[in-house]
Amino acid sequence: MLKPARMRSILAYVPPHRNGIGADPLRSPSNVSALDLANPCGRLPNVTTTDTVLQPRIALPHAKPLWTPSDPRRRCSTASATYRRFAATTSPLSHADPKTARNGKTAQPSWKRAGKPRITRIVDAGSSIWAIPSASAFPIVAGVNGPQADKSIRGGPMRKTSLTRRQLLGLGATVAAGSLASASLGGCAPAANTEARKEGSDEPEPSQEGVEYELNPQDGSYTAFTTDYSHLFSSMQVGSRTVKNRIVKSGATSRTVSQGAGFSDDVKNFYGSMAAGGVGLIWMDQFVDFTGKAANGNTPIANDEDAALCRQFTDYVHDQGALIGMQVWGPWSQCSCDGAITAPFENRAAVRKMLSIDEIHAFQADLVHRCEMMQKAGFDGVTLNAGCDHTFSSFLSRFWNTQRDDEYGPQSYENRARILTELIGQIRKACGADFIVEVLYNGVEDNVEYLGKNDGCMTIEEAKEFARLFEKAGADMLQIRYGAYGYHAASFFTDALHAVESGNTGYGTRVDFRRHFEGKVNGQFDGACALLEVAAEIKQAVGIPVGTVGVMDPRLAPDLIDNALAEGKIDYIAMTRPLMCDPELPNKLREGRRDEVAPCNHCLTCLQAVLPHPVTVGCRCNATFGRVKDGGIKTSAKPEPAASPRKVMVVGGGPAGMEAARIAAERGHEVTLYEEDGSLSGLMTFAATVKGPHEKIADFCAYLERQQEVKGVTVTTGTKVDAGLVAEEAPDVVVVAVGGVRPALDAPGAEGSPLVKTIEEAAAGADLGERVVVVGDNHHAIDLAVFLIKRGKAVIILSGRTQEFFDVEHPSWVRYSTKAWMESKGLRVFYESALLAIEEGGVSVATNFGATVSVPCDSVVNCQPLTPNTELFDTIPADIEKHLVGDAAVFSTIAEAVSSGNQAARAI
């Protein structure tokens, strides 16, 4: 047993280097003080080894705390104030929403009609505060519009980046949620600043000294909804063609075409459902690479026979009133330069090949031929992807295109654009005026891997020059993206830079949106409509339609988008994920059913790309997208109506249960959903709390709740289901979705230890002290660790797995950001470790380097994986059909839980 005094020792063990972990800076004494400084608490957990065999032990100097214990920044870092504030906030969808009251009346929830307790919505949360009495808390505290417009910084009606302390305190004292909020803020504020100052006071502004600079304060007001979407649903002229509305599906690898399926039923269902769902123009996956071979295993339209087969599909799309084309992006990466140019961007394999002039011409000719075939197959156009760092982009780029001395080199705008302008002209000549040619390219670029190393990144002025050249060459429309050099996913997911903390780059650093991307990318809306002003500026240079992509989600930002269309800032919106989530989005919005749209969560589950682990790629919220290759539900497959309606009891109101209930009811079964708690959500309350507002968990929960009403499920909350109730209700089918069981920590001293906390307690603001040991490295553990680190805690994770499998449950692009960010904040992880004992003032840990170490800490949060919960399931008699889903069956992510609930309901 370790003695407390020994726990407080400041000895650390420096192990011999091991494969793959020798470079761990945490094990290098020379780095410890630097890490201490990086830690917001100024106190890293000191590690002591008890294994006397291991040498050497090196005494470290005491870390110098950055802040004193009485520092107000420390006091405001407690989770409790923030967590309580959630309760005073509502999700965007629960704001007064004129469209929920259709036909002049609001639908009565079934549980209300049945006299059941009203479901309380879970609420969205602000998460970006850690020990900073700053404006980041403002949108949550105030629940009103954020800071004022500041044209000087952004050249457009954007928001100021921060409130003054005076504004903040004044608001903190007056807003509705003020009692909680001002308590928290008051606790943060130095004594001299605790009283709100009168507007117009001549008193000097209180000193800002010591107040942390707020990097990218978020403003939740972008979700305002008063529009009738009239501009979104107005028609658009593109060249000689008319698109029925302003909604374009941007091209995206979909796991339908791209997995060698060719024009399978999956393709037809996926894009067909979007056409039927009201999209105006669909850009399908890329279909061919520059060698003329199928890209990513696609089946190209090689001959007349292929074209005839495709016709059936394109005819179907046209019958729905939509237009459809395909995207081309060539091979990965840079083809304007050879391998001599090296850029250590990411680890993805970049094909670098200096195309000869003959190869360029062959490439162009091949694409023109493909376009002719497409046209035969009934496609309406092509979009040339010159974004990210793809082939065409590398010619436009001053970064990549540095070596050529021919007419495709960097000497002039015309030369850089020539591969595209020639191609546009050739396609126009071959396919005629009715064949739409779109160019998709970066409107502005910056280097987010090596911040500041942005020489060669495209400016908006250059993008405008290119726009003029594309228009002159005959392009019909432009789609504007941005280039986030070094972070592939961020080049099209504008929200990716907001995973974890706003501006987070995936390298543990943060973009300041006021200073990067020429200050023109809006970093205040969690990535929503981030490129609006960039597109608006480019649009001024041309007369053809200009649109943009990246969380241009009219469910999420209705007024912002409809107003931008009305004001002529953009001509159309392009999107992918909101339509993957809900292909019927356009029709639902048009019909005033916004609250029935399955909301994209920006969880990035749909694009797994970083680590080579086998992953399930599909949509978190839409169980019918992307799962067919994993043996899941067919793409976009509608639930079959039930042969005969049956009485179904669904037990558990988390994501698996709610999804099962809504699908079973949609099929025509008589469904009652039982939840033990007073409200639906299950672990989504925890998830919404710890993940914060970036992932729209609260919206998803609100959607699933609303679906119970829409589909006619009877909801009974506050009722625990046992064998007796099942017998009483006598259902035909029971779906058990009661969640898993968190095993108790199996270590001496754990039982009854005041140090041990549950995840719910930790998220609800239990007093955890400064040093928190998190036992587990699954998605619950990581989300909680991020949450705690944001609040100034020093977090130590005990992982039972190797580094390679750390946090593997999270989507890869999320993990890409999270891990580096946590490490930059002083996270310490013991891989392949085991908790040995919990003692007074700390824990002892069996490490992967053979030593037993003592880790002093103030609390231990049990984040071990959930184990199955079959208690109720086992009591259900064999003559009743039963299904075990979600965490009750196997520890799951939200995506997996939804999928299992959906599949079970289809099997009834």
Ligand X SMILES: Cc1cc2nc3c(=O)[nH]c(=O)nc-3n(C[C@H](O)[C@H](O)[C@H](O)COP(=O)(O)O)c2cc1C
Name the site residues for ligand SF4 (rule: CB under 6 A). 577, 580-581, 600-606, 619-621
Provide the minimum distance between the beta carbon of 533 and ligand X in the complex, in angstroms, as a whole number.
17
Q: Which helix (H) or strand (E) holds 783?
A: helix 779-790
Smallest CA-to-CA distance from 5 within 846, 750, 841 is with 841
Provide the minimum distance between the beta carbon of 437 and ligand X in the complex, in angstroms, as a whole number.
15
Of 135 and 388, CB closest to ligand X: 388
Smallest CA-to-CA distance from 130 within 697, 529, 556, 510 is with 510
Residue 524 binds: one of ligand SF4, ligand X, none (C-beta under 5 to 8 A by kind): none
Of 557 and 580, CB closest to ligand SF4: 580
Beta bridge partners of residue 773, listed in sequence order: 796, 860
Q: If binding is defined by CB under 6 A, does position 694 make contact with ligand X?
A: no
Q: If binding is defined by CB under 6 A, does position 493 make contact with ligand X?
A: yes
Rounded Cα distance, 84 and 144, in Å: 18
386 touches 443 (CB < 8 A)? no
Q: If binding is defined by CB under 6 A, does position 849 make contact with ligand X?
A: no
Task: For 881, list phi and psi in degrees, rounded to 5.
Answer: -65, 135
Question: What residues have CB less than 8 Å from 865, skipping those under 6 apart?
Answer: 776, 778, 891
Q: If binding is defined by CB under 6 A, does position 549 make contact with ligand X?
A: yes
Residue 551 binds: one of ligand X, ligand SF4, none (C-beta under 5 to 8 A by kind): ligand X
Pick one of 396, 551, 726, 904: the residue that binds ligand X (CB under 6 A).
551
Question: What residues have CB less than 8 Å from 198, skipping those under 6 apart?
Answer: none
What is the dihedral angle through the alpha carbons of 19, 20, 21, 24, rounded to the nearest 10 degrees? Answer: 140
Smallest CA-to-CA distance from 582 within 704, 709, 667, 669 is with 704
Residue 86 binds: one of ligand X, ligand SF4, none (C-beta under 5 to 8 A by kind): none
- Scanning 55-63, 251-259, 403-411, 707-715 for contacts with ligand X by CB under 6 A, the matching segment is 251-259
Pick one of 529, 606, 664, 701: the residue that binds ligand X (CB under 6 A).
606
Smallest CA-to-CA distance from 737 within 882, 621, 599 is with 882
Q: If binding is defined by CB under 6 A, does position 385 make contact with ligand X?
A: yes
Q: If binding is defined by CB under 6 A, does position 635 make contact with ligand X?
A: no
Going by their DSSP bridges, the two strands 477-485 and 714-717 should be labelled as: unpaired
Provide the minimum distance between the beta carbon of 233 and ligand X in the complex, in angstroms, as a whole number.
18
Q: If binding is defined by CB under 6 A, does position 492 make contact with ligand X?
A: yes
- Scanning 206-214, 549-557, 849-857, 873-881 for contacts with ligand X by CB under 6 A, the matching segment is 549-557
- Scanning 78-86, 95-103, 545-553, 728-736 for contacts with ligand X by CB under 6 A, the matching segment is 545-553
Alpha helices in 506-654 (DSSP H): 532-539, 558-566, 577-581, 585-590
Provide the minimum distance between the beta carbon of 857 and ligand SF4 in the complex, in angstroms, as a whole number.
34
599 touches 621 (CB < 8 A)? yes
The 326-365 contact track toward ligand X, x by CB under 6 A, reads -x-x------------------------------------
Of 385 and 716, CB closest to ligand X: 385
- Scanning 248-256, 355-363, 733-741, 832-840 for contacts with ligand X by CB under 6 A, the matching segment is 248-256
Rounded Cα distance, 684 and 701, in Å: 7
Provide the minimum distance between the beta carbon of 503 and ligand X in the complex, in angstroms, as a whole number.
18
Of 535 and 750, CB closest to ligand X: 535
Of 427 and 580, CB closest to ligand SF4: 580
* 867 to 659, 723, 739, 798, 846: CA distances (angstroms): 21, 21, 9, 18, 23
**3-state secondary structure string, 191-204?**
HHHCCCCCCCCCCC
Q: If binding is defined by CB under 6 A, does position 607 make contact with ligand X?
A: yes
Residue 352 binds: one of ligand X, ligand SF4, none (C-beta under 5 to 8 A by kind): none
Residue 273 binds: one of ligand SF4, ligand X, none (C-beta under 5 to 8 A by kind): none
Q: If binding is defined by CB under 6 A, does position 550 make contact with ligand X?
A: yes
Pick one of 128, 218, 286, 333: the residue that binds ligand X (CB under 6 A).
286
Provide the minimum distance between the beta carbon of 607 and ligand X in the complex, in angstroms, as a whole number.
4
For Cα atoms 745, 746, 747, give the angle at the middle one, nearest 5 degrees: 100
- Record the tokens describing residue 540, joined without a space: 């001024």
Alpha helices in 43-132 (DSSP H): 72-75, 79-87, 110-113
Pick one of 143, 239, 443, 578: the residue that binds ligand X (CB under 6 A).
578
Size of the site for ligand X (CB under 6 A): 19
Residue 814 binds: one of ligand X, ligand SF4, none (C-beta under 5 to 8 A by kind): none
Rounded Cα distance, 373 and 337, in Å: 30
Provide the minimum distance between the beta carbon of 529 and ligand SF4 in the complex, in angstroms, as a whole number.
16
Of 367 and 549, CB closest to ligand X: 549
Residue 503 binds: one of ligand X, ligand SF4, none (C-beta under 5 to 8 A by kind): none
203 touches 193 (CB < 8 A)? no
Provide the minimum distance between the beta carbon of 492 and ligand X in the complex, in angstroms, as a whole number.
4
Of 695 and 777, CB closest to ligand X: 695
Q: If binding is defined by CB under 6 A, does position 576 make contact with ligand X?
A: yes
Provide the minimum distance between the beta carbon of 232 and ligand SF4 in the complex, in angstroms, as a whole number.
20
Pick one of 45, 72, 146, 251: the residue that binds ligand X (CB under 6 A).
251
Q: If binding is defined by CB under 6 A, does position 7 make contact with ligand X?
A: no
574 touches 250 (CB < 8 A)? yes
510 secondary structure, DSSP code: B
For Cα atoms 282, 286, 291, give the angle at the middle one, nearest 5 degrees: 150
Pick one of 232, 252, 477, 788: the residue that binds ligand X (CB under 6 A).
252
Burial of 187 (0-12, 13-18, 19+ CB in 10 A): middle
Q: If binding is defined by CB under 6 A, does position 250 make contact with ligand X?
A: yes
* 444 to 461, 481, 725: CA distances (angstroms): 9, 8, 61
Rounded Cα distance, 289 and 258, in Å: 12
Catalog residues that contact ligand X under the rule CB under 6 A.
250-253, 286, 327, 329, 385, 492-493, 549-551, 575-578, 606-607
